[in-house]
Amino acid sequence: MICTVRAIDEKDYSCIADIIRNDLGYKNSSDSEVAVRLNTIKNHTDYSTFIAKYDDAVVGFIGLIRGLAYEINGDYIRVAALAVKKEYQNKGIGSKLLEEAENYARNVNAVTIVLNSGIQRINTHNFYEKRGYIKKGYSFRKSI
């Protein structure tokens, strides 16, 4: 089977909502709420979303944010979301999505890619480290 990656389209929204609920664990994200979020993101010039198709089904996605940093010259890309359906993991799909992010970063002349990963997700950390990403610190969050 061949995995293809392309920019998101509105017809992909319900599949992405399913992944957000069932694979990322955000159970309260309805199709309509996710559609509103994705439309807002799609219309924002600093955001890009790509989906992975495998066996003609949407099985994963990656969300990117282009930004500026205070500590380095040039733009950076933040991986805001990366998810692959559990039954399709370990088939190279996450790697293909990350490759797409890296190609996108090169195309927009970004100088680095950054991302966060949950502290408990050791296998995910290994996935990133095998692809050349360096563990740099902790992420903090406070709801307002």
Q: Tell me whether residue 142 is in a domain.
A: no
Query: Would you say residue 91 has pLDDT above 90?
Result: yes
Q: Tell me whether residue 110 is in a domain.
A: yes
36-86, pLDDT tens digit by residue?
999 999 999 999 999 999 988 999 999 999 999 899 999 999 999 999 999
CATH code at position 45? 3.40.630.30
Q: Tell me whether residue 99 is in a domain.
A: yes
What is the percent of the chain with per-residue pLDDT over 70, rounded to a whole number?
A: 100
Q: Which of 45-54, 88-97, 130-139 has the lowest mean pLDDT?
A: 130-139
Mean pLDDT in the chain? 93
pLDDT of 122: 79
What strands, in cross-sheet order, belong to the sheet with 3-7?
3-7, 47-54, 57-68, 75-84, 112-115
Q: How far is CA 133 from CA 82, 101, 128, in A?
A: 15, 13, 5
What is the model's pTM?
A: 0.91
Q: How many domains does one find in the chain? A: 1
Q: Tell me whether residue 139 is in a domain.
A: no
Residue numbers of the domain that contains 47: 3-130
Q: Tell me whether residue 7 is in a domain.
A: yes
Q: Tell me whether residue 136 is in a domain.
A: no
Q: Tell me whether residue 135 is in a domain.
A: no
- What average pLDDT does range 120-141 have in this prediction? 87
